[in-house]
Chains A and B, each alone.
Chain A
Amino acid sequence: EVQLLESGGGLVQPGESLRLSCAASGFSFSNYAMTWVRQAPGKGLEWVSLIINNGDTTYYADSVKGRFTISRDNSKNTLYLQMDSLRAEDTAVYYCAKSPIAVAGTSWFDPWGQGAPVTVSS
């Protein structure tokens, strides 16, 4: 069974940093692109970032470009999201999810992890 388990969420002050992790199991992690999607309280889904299977290419939403860094360690079956210069508007539940393909393209996301809550507040 494919499983994704996020960790690392919490409460931080504006301007601070946080790193999320997503531990994957049940599939050949190194064969698939992975993504982060967030959901602010009471709002819809917002795509954040995607990384291809070998980590060589990354993609970011305009709202986080230059502040967030996606990475992966295929030897540990783990996806990361380094979030720097956090703002109040980054407050959300952050989900990791698996793409059905190795690279970028017309892909969907399935399955999703249970989500990691991040709160940015002073």
Chain B
Amino acid sequence: QSVLTQPPSVSAAPGQNVIISCSGSRPNIGNNYVAWYQQVPGTAPKLLIYDNDKRPSGIPDRFSGSKSGTSASLGITGLQTGDEADYFCGTWDSSLTAGVFGGGTKLTVL
């Protein structure tokens, strides 16, 4: 049972847009910054978003992040087949004094 809640799966056609949600509570998302990761099975996670909405160098602007209250979202526009992967949200939990992740969302590009 993950501290952060994500939908297990989402799907969309190439070229379409998708939003992946991440729900938490005040000690984690409510009081801390959120990050998003992309993981292709068999490889290490890749940072897509940090500080709620910042993209590391090299991450295309098709990926965006937002946060409101105790929830966060990852948006992907113009879906490509190469975007098929698992996506995880993560943050710090001030009450647990621990890092926490969502359970992950499998994105299928139909």
Pair from one complex: no
* A interface with B by C-beta (< 8 Å): none
Residues of B within 8 A of A (CB): none
